[in-house]
Amino acid sequence: MPDLFLALDLSTRTGWAVGPIAPPAPTPMEAACGQEDAGAFSGVKTFPACVPEIFTVFEKWLDEMVQVHKPLGIVCEAPLPAKAQRSNAAATINLGLANTLVSYCKRRRIWHKGLPNSTVKKHATGNGRAKKPEMMKAAEERGWPADDDNRVDALWVLDCARAKAHAKKKDTAA
């Protein structure tokens, strides 16, 4: 079984993607068409929007995902600071989910990393301030499912983490 990342876009509708750290090589057809497969399973999980229940339900779901997929590491789009959130309720939920994730990973000694949203956006579109429609369009151009922006964000988090891991591996080999 390959080493896997679990990538998350944390929110009450959490996008998730599980895939190998080293992305699969594109098939000749994908290469000819200019499309790449994310090489991942992905989806969206909706959690109750009430505090503190959301954190308990999220941790139970996270534990199930870890038991099933056994990821080597978990990456997520780092939450924005509280003042940059839509509301105090959104800040409480998003920062609380991030704290729950960090605590979970620390207790189980699972590597984890939060990627700044501007880093993920720049990786996806070349623009660190890209909006959701640009992220969705870039995913469609890759041939990825673009049915939900949370799912797309998780796929981009996974792809960005892969690119960073590959670049780090290349640097240490040189």
Residue 82 confidence class, pLDDT cut points 50, 70, 90: low
Structure tokens at 78: 């780092």
Query: What's the mean pLDDT when you consider all of the chain?
Result: 86
Structure tokens at 137: 């369009």
Average pLDDT estimate for 9-35: 70
Residue 126 confidence class, pLDDT cut points 50, 70, 90: very high
In angstroms, rounded to a whole number, what is the distance separating the alpha carbons of residues 68 and 148? 23
Q: Please indicate whether residue 1 or residue 136 has the higher confidence score (pLDDT).
A: 136
The closest of 95, 96, 5 to 42, measured between CA atoms, is 5
In angstroms, rounded to a whole number, what is the distance separating the alpha carbons of residues 23 and 113? 18
Q: Which fold has domain 4-173?
A: Nucleotidyltransferase; domain 5 (3.30.420)
Average pLDDT estimate for 4-19: 94
In angstroms, rounded to a whole number, what is the distance separating the alpha carbons of residues 79 and 61? 19
Average pLDDT estimate for 113-137: 96
The closest of 51, 58, 71, 53 to 13, measured between CA atoms, is 58
Q: Please indicate whether residue 18 or residue 172 has the higher confidence score (pLDDT).
A: 18
Is 15 a residue whose pLDDT tops 60?
yes
Break the chain into its structural domains and give their ranges: 4-173
CB neighbours (10 Å) of residue 116? 13
DSSP assignment of 109-124, as one string?
T-EEEEEPHHHHHHHH
CA distances in angstroms from 75 to 43, 86, 89, 93, listed in the order given: 15, 23, 23, 18
Which residue is it, tokens 């003042």? 83
In angstroms, rounded to a whole number, what is the distance separating the alpha carbons of residues 156 and 5? 12
**What pLDDT score was predicted for residue 29?**
44
Which residue is it, tokens 């990627």? 115
Average pLDDT estimate for 6-24: 89
Is 105 a residue whose pLDDT tops 50?
yes
